[in-house]
Amino acid sequence: MRLISCHIENFGKLHDCSREFHDGVNVVREENGWGKSTFAAFVRAMFYGLGGERKRSLLENERKRYKPWQGGIFGGQLVFEIHGKKYKVSRIFKDKEANDEFELRDAETNLLSDAYGKKIGEEIFKINREAFMRTVFIGQGECETAATDDVNAKIGNFADNANDLDRYEAANARLTEIVNALTPSRATGSIAKRREEIARYGRIVQGGEGILESIDKYQGYFRAEEELLESLKIQMKAAGEQQARASGRQAALAKRSEWERLKKEAGEKRREREERRNCFPKEVPAMEEIRRKIVECGEMEKVYERMQIHQLSEAEAAELAALQATFCEGGSADAGRIGQLGEEGGLEALRDCFAKEQRCASVIMKKWGERNSRNKALPSNKAALAALKASMAASKAADNLPETGKGKMPLLGIVLAIIGVIVAVAVHLQAGICAVVVGAGLLAAGMIAGRNGAKPADTGNGAKPADTGNGAKPAGTGNGEKPAGTGNGAKPAGDGKDVKPRGGEDGIETPDAQADLELENLRGTIEEDEAFIARVDGEVADYLMGHGKVFDEETASDGLQGILEDLYAYENKAEKYFALKEKQENFEKAMMEFKTVGGAVATFLDKCGYEPSQRPSRQLEEIRELAQHCQVAEDALREANARLGRFEAENDVAGLAKMQGDGPLPSLGELNQQIQTLNGEMEKAHRSINEYHNTLEDLQRQYDEWEECVARLEELKERQAEEQKKFDYVFKARLKLELAKEAMTAKYADPILKGFGKYYEMISGDTADRFHIDANTAVTVDELGRQRDSVSLSSGYRDLVGICLRMALVDAMYKGEAPFLVMDDPFANLDDKKVAAARRFVEELGKTYQVVYFTCSHSRG
Amino acid sequence: MKLIHCADLHLDSKLNANLDKEHAKERKGEILHTFERMVSYAAEHGVEAILVAGDLFDVKNISATARNTVLHNVTNHPEIMFYYLKGNHDNDNFLSRLEEIPANLKLFGPGWTTYEAAGGQVAISGLELSAENANLAHASLVLDTRKFNIVMLHGQESRGAARDKAEVIDLKALRNKGIDYLALGHVHAYKKEKLDARGTYCYAGCLEGRGFDECGEHGFVLLDIDTENLSRHSHQFVPFARRKLHEVHVDVTDCAATAEMADRAKEELARAGCGAQDLVKIVLEGMLDVECEKDLAYFLSVFRPQFYFVKAYDETTLKISMEDYLLDESLKGEYVRQVMADGSLSDEEKKIIVRYGLQAIAGEEVQ
């Protein structure tokens, strides 16, 4: 491997600096301050980057140390050749390693190459930066060296085989780290730290050993207080019982007093009751019975009043007797019948009977009146009939008369009628009526005759004579008395009809026909009246006979009237009779009731031992009052007895009766005081128990904590033992590992020693027999009978030994392609003789290695 | 008549011997809750009495939570009689603050105390053993043989000396006394044996395992007495623990890496039936090559998500084949030879030192 060229953009004080390298020794001889070491550092930095990143010292921290003074790009390029290929490595350093730029190009193609990475130094030289600086790179004043792990590994790895020797330092460091972390001999070691902790917990545990005793002690206090409390409870119970007994005794006394009072009260009530009872001659009636009797008595008085009301006066009694005689004892048949009917059917039946009889009498009377009317009208009717007959005869005659005669007939009729009226009024009614009738007949005949004579051809007005004829009929019926119900009226009507059609047949009524009709009607009326009279006479005769009277036309009216009057008289009497009789009966009934009720009251009074007085109601009221008093006394006695009974049932009266003083008892006041004191003591005991409980809880907490401390101490001790064991094992492991490494390196110590001797002789001209190299590549020298560390040599020798050892190591490390060597004025400490030898040494090296030699001295360069 | 026999609940136990603080606190609550669950179970299954044969509590000073929880469960279930016999761990301040002991909480003392149940057909006798009464306790027991006799004691059966303050129960002295069921406490694993021709003795074991010395099933005993025929009764162990503890030994012989060891452990854990809610202790055993890669922290991290709690112990030993290093011209070979040649070291020490050195050379963590 060889360097070809480099260009420094900016690195320390160097700026835009380029240099070509050739094979063999490249001497860079510049004055002090030119930047030779900086140049050398640049070469190193191109392969390994900047070192001392974490160092604060400017000398150690290369990023700070070589930061361009003048600014600009920090870095440069370096062209080198290895295994026949040329590469250009470029690095631009930034503020920190992570930001640094690295680039590798194939120097021939200028293409980027990935043949090596950022750690190109390690990859090419197979050693780390430290090993590089201890071997290939000899810095100013840094001649002394020692084989590093990487150096050893590189030396041991002759054929680049995989080997774990390079892990020694890491393994050793790891074990050392554990040893240091665990070490009992330094304050930072966990064993040492834990020792203190164990001591602390040990003191706590020791100090807490009394807690359990304290707990026992306080539990003893606690139990003692509990026992005290129990004892106080017992005392309290006893005091309570005494209090109860004392209270009970007082209560018993009070009860006995109450019992006595109740007994006395019952006795008094009994006496009072007896006194009240003694008010009665015999037994004490029940209040209900008295009340009933008072009610009965009230009813009796009402009956008495009724008696007073219904009692007949003497006149009434005499009247009754008379009426009784009339109706019952030898009166008329009617009276007897009436009396019987009244007896049988009562007053109402009698009244119905009277009403019927009176109606019957009225009918007879009416009939008799009509009969008399008809009878009275009969002569006039007969006269009218005769007149009519005469009229008809006259008419016939008139027909045969001259007209003058006909003209005088109405006048004759009028005169005759006037005379008839006068006679009827003044002399004789019937004669007068007859005269009137005849006169009317004449008048009518005259008028008919006159009309016929005047207008013989006017037959068409035949109705008018008919009207006239009819007009006569009312005169006939003008008697008016003829009852409509007799049917007589119908006949004239029927007759009228009969006549009318007849008249209507030819439409011409002739005066003769009309007169015939009139005659016929009149004759019928007369016959009818005569039949009616005969029939009524018969009925009246029967009626009178029924009432014990003989019919006589003259006295019949009086007879009938008498019968009717008798009926009314009987009715009045019967009314009176039955009213008096009813009164008499009511009186008797009331009398009966009075006697019955009065008898019961009297019996009651007698039962009670009282002589019935005139005023039984007052007597009963008095009895009731007495009975009420008695009842009240009885109730009072019953209540008193009930109270006594209840008391005796609820209380041990036998005990109360036998109650004696059961020894001296403290007073209730004393007992209350005692209880109050005990309460205070119990409260105090409760407080103490609570306090002891709290203390015990506190102690328990302390004990828990103590237990935790004990557990922690045990855990710490256990852990300490484990760690101590581990420390011992790791410590021993480290020792054994070191021995192993020494045993390994011892195998190539001899070749190194040979190389060392070769270079030593080359520079010093002396043999290196007195030098030794151990398995750790430490050089010792025999001095004054013993091997001495190279450190004890002079600076010049130390540098010499270091340079020789470096070259021996490099020889041992790189059996194949040799690396370049960088020497930054390494011989500054050598004397002139050795400097000359060193120049030869360098020249000799140049035959094997490309050497870049920096020096400020002409003699050394 | 159904009864529950339980013992050694050790409520308020700190549990810090095996568990970290958080797990210990959580387990402490779980154990208390298991007691509550047991009472609920009794209420739901018509159990008339719960026999607590000692060590209901673990510490001298009981926490308010534990005390109140127990009392709440007792007073809340008046239909269940609680027969509580104190053990060597129990302290009498459990009831000290009570004005009145609940009617359904029956206690025992230094002398024999007998309670009757099932209309006098069942007699429950108990005595709290102490140094003072231990000698006379057994001899002074007199029972009515016509009844179904349950006797409660807390102590170590007489096959070996008790480890702690507990007294010894002389089973021989209790034979032929008319005991039908000897309800014992103190031994934390369930055990049932014949006492004599008539009776059996039984340790209910603890209700919940607390440490890896209490692995396996834990719970209580359900006793069902036929009151029509007192000679007949059934006995059933009811596993009731919230979590199980497992100690699983894994042979990792010849495993070259942690991953291999984890695979072996997975197989063993599956075989042991470890559940996700369980607490597991893995013990690595066997011989490993001195150069094998073994990272216990990583090994644990593989299993930590799979279980409620897991810890691992490395009890493996190393083996070294000297033939492999005799001709090894490397630092490693030289190192092994150096160590093995040291006669001052024991074989085990040599292996450990070799392992440390090789780990250092390999750039691995030295452990």
Domain boundaries, chain A: 2-142+825-855, 185-280+613-737, 345-576
Measure the CA–CA gap between A681 and A673, rounded to whole angstroms: 12
Contact at CB, B335 and A689, closer than 8 angstroms: no
> Which residues of B are less than 8 Å from A168 in CB distance?
331, 361
Higher pLDDT, A755 or B150: B150
For residue A723, the chain B residue with the least C-alpha distance is: B367
Any residues with CB less than 8 A from the CB of A702 and at least 6 apart, and which?
Answer: A208, A211
For residue B340, the chain A residue with the least C-alpha distance is: A736
Concatenated DSSP letters of A17-78: EEEE--SSEEEEE--TTS-HHHHHHHHHHHHH----TT--STTT-HHHHTS-SS-S--EEEE
Contact at CB, B338 and A175, closer than 8 angstroms: no
Please check whether residue A117 is in contact with residue A123, taking contact to mean a CB–CB distance below 8 angstroms: yes
pLDDT for A49 equals 92
Q: What is the DSSP letter of B11?
A: B
Lowest-confidence range among A97-101, A352-356, A856-860?
Answer: A856-860
Contact A66/B at CB under 8 A: no
Pick from A172, A222, A711: CB nearest B16? A711
Highest-confidence segment of A598-612, A803-817, B164-178, B337-351:
B337-351
As given in the structure block, the two tokens for residue A722 are 């484990």
Pick from B334, B337, B363: CB nearest A167? B363
Contact A181/B at CB under 8 A: no
CATH 3.60.21.10 range(s) for chain B read 2-239
Higher pLDDT, A226 or A850: A850
> What Rg value do the Cα atoms of chain B yield, rounded?
27
pLDDT for B250 equals 96
Q: What is the pLDDT of residues A507-547, one digit of tens each?
A: 445 666 777 888 888 888 888 888 888 888 888 888 888 87
Any residues with CB less than 8 A from the CB of B136 and at least 6 apart, and which?
Answer: none
As given in the structure block, the two tokens for residue B277 are 């809610």
Concatenated DSSP letters of A256-271: HHHHHHHHHHHHHHHH
> Which residues of A are less than 8 Å from B362 in CB distance?
167
Q: How far is CA A434 from CA A379, A409, A418, in A?
A: 8, 17, 11
Reply yes or no on whether the pLDDT at A441 is more than 80.
Answer: no
Contact A236/B at CB under 8 A: no
> Which residues of B are less than 8 Å from A171 in CB distance?
331, 357, 360-361, 363
Measure the CA–CA gap between B174 and B181, rounded to whole angstroms: 11
What's the order of all strands across the beta sheet hosting A851-855?
A25-29, A851-855, A821-824, A137-138
Contact at CB, B361 and A737, closer than 8 angstroms: yes
> What Rg value do the Cα atoms of chain A yield, rounded?
93
For residue A222, the chain B residue with the least C-alpha distance is: B93
Lowest-confidence range among A396-405, A768-777, B52-61?
Answer: A396-405
Q: How far is CA A49 from CA A113, A180, A353, A445, in A?
A: 18, 32, 172, 199
Contact B331/A at CB under 8 A: yes
Distance from CA of B316 to the nearest CA of A (A): 16
Contact A766/B at CB under 8 A: no
* pTM, two decimal places: 0.49
Measure the CA–CA gap between A11 and A1, rounded to whole angstroms: 24
Contact A631/B at CB under 8 A: no
Contact A676/B at CB under 8 A: no
Mutate to test the interface with A, among B18, B338, B364 (most CBs of A within 10 A): B338
Measure the CA–CA gap between B299 and B312, rounded to whole angstroms: 8
Residue A224: CB atoms within 10 A of its CB come to 14
Pick from B17, B91, B357: CB nearest A737? B357
pLDDT for A160 equals 39
As given in the structure block, the two tokens for residue A631 are 């009842």
Pick from B61, B91, B357: CB nearest A736? B357
Measure the CA–CA gap between A366 and A113, rounded to whole angstroms: 180
Contact A146/B at CB under 8 A: no
> Which residues of A are less than 8 Å from B60 in CB distance?
215, 219, 696, 700, 703
For residues A279-289, average pLDDT: 84
Contact B97/A at CB under 8 A: yes
Please check whether residue B136 is in contact with residue B112, taking contact to mean a CB–CB distance below 8 angstroms: no
Pick from A168, A693, A707: CB nearest B331? A168
Measure the CA–CA gap between A223 and A210, rounded to whole angstroms: 19
Mutate to test the interface with B, among A166, A229, A707, A729 (most CBs of B within 10 A): A729
Please check whether residue A596 is in contact with residue A576, taking contact to mean a CB–CB distance below 8 angstroms: no
Measure the CA–CA gap between A740 and B334, rounded to whole angstroms: 5
Please check whether residue A634 is in contact with residue A260, taking contact to mean a CB–CB distance below 8 angstroms: no
Q: Is B132 in a helix, a strand, or coil? A: coil
Measure the CA–CA gap between B206 and A6, rounded to whole angstroms: 86
Q: What is the CATH number of domain B2-239?
A: 3.60.21.10
pLDDT for A10 equals 93
Higher pLDDT, A615 or A406: A615
Measure the CA–CA gap between A740 and A746, rounded to whole angstroms: 10
Q: Is A695 in a helix, a strand, or coil? A: helix
Contact A196/B at CB under 8 A: no
Strands, DSSP E only, in chain B? 2-6, 47-53, 81-85, 105-107, 113-117, 122-126, 148-154, 156-157, 168-169, 181-185, 191-194, 200-203, 219-225, 233-239, 245-251, 279-285, 287-289, 309-314, 317-319
Measure the CA–CA gap between B164 and B156, rounded to whole angstroms: 10
> Which residues of B are less than 8 Å from A172 in CB distance?
360
pLDDT for A407 equals 57
- What are the two backbone dihedrals, phi and then psi, of residue A850, each rounded to the nearest 5 degrees? -80, 125
Contact A699/B at CB under 8 A: yes
Please check whether residue A628 is in contact with residue A341, taking contact to mean a CB–CB distance below 8 angstroms: no
pLDDT averaged per 10 residues, chain B (length 367): 95 84 90 96 96 89 87 94 91 70 92 92 93 84 93 84 68 91 94 93 94 92 91 92 95 93 95 93 92 90 95 88 77 88 90 89 83
> Which residues of B are less than 8 Å from A730 in CB distance?
356, 366
> Which residues of A are less than 8 Å from B338 in CB distance?
736-737, 739-740, 743
Q: What is the DSSP letter of A94?
A: -
Measure the CA–CA gap between A89 and A77, rounded to whole angstroms: 6
> Which residues of B are less than 8 Å from A708 in CB distance?
16
Lowest-confidence range among A163-172, A594-603, B235-244?
Answer: A163-172
Q: Is B212 in a helix, a strand, or coil? A: coil
Contact B14/A at CB under 8 A: yes
Lowest-confidence range among A620-634, A790-804, B152-166?
Answer: B152-166
Given the cut 0.95, state whether the ipTM is greater than it: no
Pick the CATH number of A2-142+825-855 from 3.30.420.40, 3.30.70.270, 3.40.50.300, 2.60.40.1120: 3.40.50.300
Highest-confidence segment of A692-696, A836-840, B187-191:
B187-191
pLDDT for A493 equals 39
C-alpha torsion sign, points B247, B252, B256, B259: negative
Please check whether residue A851 is in contact with residue A24, taking contact to mean a CB–CB distance below 8 angstroms: yes
Nearest to B224 by CA among B174, B152, B120, B150: B150
Average pLDDT, chain A: 80
pLDDT for A458 equals 42
In chain A, DSSP finds a helix count (H) and a strand count (E) of 23, 12
> Which residues of B are less than 8 Å from A174 in CB distance?
360, 363, 366
Q: How far is CA A271 from CA A89, A266, A268, A274, in A?
A: 150, 9, 5, 5
pLDDT for A424 equals 67
Count Cβ–Cβ pairs < 8 Å, chain A vs chain B: 103
Highest-confidence segment of A331-335, A795-799, B343-347:
B343-347
AA identity, residue B236: Q
Contact A251/B at CB under 8 A: no
Contact B345/A at CB under 8 A: yes
Measure the CA–CA gap between B45 and B33, rounded to whole angstroms: 18
In chain B, DSSP finds a helix count (H) and a strand count (E) of 8, 19
